Structure 1
């Protein structure tokens, strides 16, 4: 290997036979040196070899290898079978590179930045990251595009710092809090609203199947473009199917999963599916697909309250409650910012 050779996080996960989440955690903790080229994380071959040498030395000396989580023989963490591949993103301009300095060399710097993992897909998180980078020089936000439920589980495991979630509890009609309370049992945290947005059905242009409400999903031979397990859209669909007594087996394509709202909307737009569940914004971006709004979902953020988090959590709250941040969100049609920055629950 040459010094010029480098790998993506996905290639590293395959080479080391570990999950991508573990790769991200190694980067976050400074055990594996990485840098950004535009929106992509890269690891040089020399840095990979250096990490492997350190691991072998620790193993031969009887010390614990500094990987953040044990992995199974298949390379996934226990209980992680439903997790989807994630990617990290920063708002560094495309084409630039910025090194992430490992903890082992932090003593050579006056103030090594702390890496914060933010989960979720909405564009509002990109805006939040930009404000965080401007206002808090000592942190560097990283983006993980996992679903709401998986994000909460990753927070429970200590893999994420700020989690976005839009999970409907069909029995109570409440968003997010029933899931947060169950998953983050024993943790101290704060839940704050980011925004509300319309959610409903993607249908083909002109709505030839005349799908107007959730009960219409019982129509025979309906082809579905579905989201992955753990996503807010998948939970919304499953809860509505349960509440209306509609068996998922009647939906062709229920087991086939897309990993984004855009992916679902594109399947419907192309004619490969008759219907999908998601947010209005994706329908506007994809085009050639109509949207049937059925609910207004609440999109919240969860931050753990623990020692060392105080400064950046307060900074995030100030950003969310600022008029500048709200004005940026209001530029996106369909976003309701009437409660943005409101603390909804504190454990």
Structure 2
């Protein structure tokens, strides 16, 4: 059994292919050689038709015979070259493939052309964004694409997103925090070592509402974490490392509860959508999540707090054309109106560069005596 691998080529518009080759949506160089030999009747004539050297065509045919383990050409001195039965069957398979898969291949080719057009467009930009799961970001991706800004978004935990930024795997990271957060909060412990004033810059994005996602109508009347603990409602966690899991630790502390007070399921969920689905299926009763996801799934929702969703980049990336394009877009009225229409969301300092130490006030800046002496 031989495996099949697909690839593609990129050609400049000025590069001209033969009509026969251009009509083949999925091309393989061996099939070009076999077709030329079958039509021309000799290796030398096939080489001239393909604008290749005799030595190259002969060498490639012999190489493919070794690769496939079958002879392709009947090599008889003084006779016209012709395909072996195996060579004929390969050409038959090629024709069948072209006939059967033409619509799918054409759709794939067109999609590839549209995608690669971005790389050749000097006015288009691409930004890689790792972010905590959020319902507004996919809408931002669609909105931005219409204006030539393409967001490559990968959802992960807030902590993992910032680590990816620091390791150079993305240009922007998205994370969220309760405001204000004390110096002893779980939020401070989670992010303090990852974010540094002077190295990182925060770009305002939005506020959103977090709360308890519950069954439609909230049959257990769950309005607080105290209610969840008291009723022993089945609670589903978000994954460790997510911003919502960090937030839960802070909310439990504020309610004078701990994780053991919750009747938690053994498995956690990687996203707000997955958490909502677990509740909708009846597998659990309640979980901490965002309002927009609850409303979209037709579930009940008990709000607990407003939080800030931030975008953060390295200082060196702040004024690059791609990041500047995003900042400008976030300040557009049409985008802000679209964001405000999403349940629980509100545009907040969207696109503005904000003070990291003001938003996350757990750093202290005390000049050392040596620094003060040098400054004076």
| Alignment TM class, shorter chain as reference | 0.5 to 0.7
1:147 matched to 2:195? The reply is no
Question: In 2, are the aligned partners of 1:166 and 1:175 still within 8 Å (CA)?
Answer: no
Take 1:229 and 1:212, find their aligned partners in 2: how far apart are those partners?
24
Tell me which protein shows more helix as a share of its residues: 2
The C-alpha deviation readout for 1:287-321, integer Å capped at 9, x for no partner, is: 1x210001011111112221696222211111111
SS of the residue 2:309 aligns to:
strand
Question: Which residues in structure 2 correspond to 1:36-75 (within 5 Å)?
Answer: none
C-alpha change, 1:181 and 1:315, in structure 2 (3 Å) is farther
* Alpha-carbon distance, 1:341 to partner: 2.6
* Alpha-carbon distance, 1:286 to partner: 1.2
Question: In 2, are the aligned partners of 1:195 and 1:340 still within 8 Å (CA)?
Answer: yes
Structure 2 partner of 1:280: 291
Structure 1 partner of 2:353: 343
C-alpha change, 1:5 and 1:253, in structure 2 (3 Å) is farther
Equivalent residue pairs, number: 251
1:324 matched to 2:326? The reply is no
Question: Which residues in structure 2 correspond to 1:196-345 (within 5 Å)?
Answer: 196-219=207-230, 221-287=232-298, 289-306=299-316, 310-345=320-355
Question: Which residues in structure 2 correspond to 1:75-154 (within 5 Å)?
Answer: 97-98=111-112, 115-120=126-131, 121-136=133-148, 140-154=150-164
C-alpha change, 1:317 and 1:346, in structure 2 (3 Å) is farther
Runs of 4+ in 1 over 6 A off after TM superposition: 109-114, 173-178
Q: What TM-score, normalized to structure 1?
A: 0.62
C-alpha change, 1:274 and 1:173, in structure 2 (3 Å) is farther
SS of the residue 1:206 aligns to:
coil
List gaps (5 residues or longer) in structure 1: 7-93
* Alpha-carbon distance, 1:283 to partner: 0.8
* Alpha-carbon distance, 1:113 to partner: 7.6
C-alpha change, 1:309 and 1:174, in structure 2 (3 Å) is farther
* Alpha-carbon distance, 1:343 to partner: 2.6
Question: In 2, are the aligned partners of 1:188 and 1:346 still within 8 Å (CA)?
Answer: no
Larger radius of gyration: 2
